[in-house]
Structure 1
């Protein structure tokens, strides 16, 4: 693992170390210890495997940055069990107004942001993988990126459903973060798809402009 890490480009080493630092900071005075392991275990495992994976299947630094940014957003959400990310408190301290008041929200929407970000930030790395190792170009790579986002989003929602069945009620509720919305899973998947389609549309527009 150390040898694999040492072989990575400097920028990618820094990105991994920044995520490690954020993950450690998120455990200080952990407000929801009962779900902390569930929230952060995937990130921990990915960080352990990342040096080997990136050495075996190298990615552009831009792709790694997209993955690390998503995991950073997830780590922040995981610290507060998603439903309790205090963005209104932060906004109140900075601007003397809250985000919820500005938009008329009655629930915490940080989870919606992260699902949208998952779709948007998945596009660059999946396009790279589809082109470099899948032999796809253009529409094929774009469809692969959209298919990845929809597929992973669906599997994640199934995992949350199974967790609800298997885990104790309060633990499952805190992890899932539905906040009483019976359409939470569908909205999460739709936002992930919207994030991916937004980035794909922007990339297509930029490519057309450059050819003009």
Structure 2
């Protein structure tokens, strides 16, 4: 049973306000968190005018919560590897040979994974199309908005000082950072391909829903 939208909202509020306990870089965190606040307001405005399932609402909340956690540590400093070592005695970075902090990749992946079902549901209900064209529109939307966000980060880079731009963008010296971020968002969206593209095998049985 999925939690209600009120429970998901409470979860989001707890994560968001906890991320602001003794902030390490308050100004930079505020810049990141402003997008979270805007997105959450838009989500609730959407809910007032359109139907969204509790499951799809929760997925978007998971993304926003992850973004709030990342904002506290400016993405590049999120101590996920220390958390894993403390909890499980396991180093993900060492196991995979990573030399950079990859929490930003997780958040970009979650963007594609968490928003795609809601977009498919919106498109199929509003425009009376099947899941195949709905998914095609959804993944196109994920790819396009990911591109727009990378343009926004480029504007940040050329508008702020080098140190402030790095604090926000968190490229960590990777010249292909923008390309990889867009790719993992696309991969996250593609994770829903099977549920959208394959019809039910049994005649008369509806295809699996998102």
TM-score (structure 2 length as normaliser): 0.89
Deviation per CA, 1:131-157: give whole Å up to 9, x if none: 111322132101111111101100000
Asked whether 1:52 is paired with 2:81, we answer no
**Kindly tell me: are residues 210 and 27 of structure 1, through their superposed partners in 2, closer, same or farther at Cα, counting changes over 3 Å?**
farther
Moved over 2 A (4+): 45-53, 201-205, 207-212
- Counting only pairs closer than 5 Å after superposition, residues 1-212 of structure 1 correspond to structure 2 as 11-205=4-198, 207-209=199-201
Deviation per CA, 1:32-65: give whole Å up to 9, x if none: 2231111101211233344332111121111111
Name the stretch that deviates more: 113-122 or 196-205: 196-205
TM superposition shift of 1:210: 5.7
Larger fraction in helix: 1
Q: What is the total number of aligned residue pairs between the two structures?
A: 202
* Root-mean-square deviation (Å): 1.7
Q: Please tell me whether the aligned partners of residues 52 and 118 of structure 2 are also in contact (alpha carbons under 8 angstroms).
A: yes
Q: Secondary structure at the match of 1:147?
A: helix
Deviation per CA, 1:85-107: give whole Å up to 9, x if none: 10111111112231111111100
- Show structure 1 runs of 5+ residues with no match: 1-9
TM superposition shift of 1:111: 0.7
**Kindly tell me: are residues 208 and 36 of structure 1, through their superposed partners in 2, closer, same or farther at Cα, counting changes over 3 Å?**
same
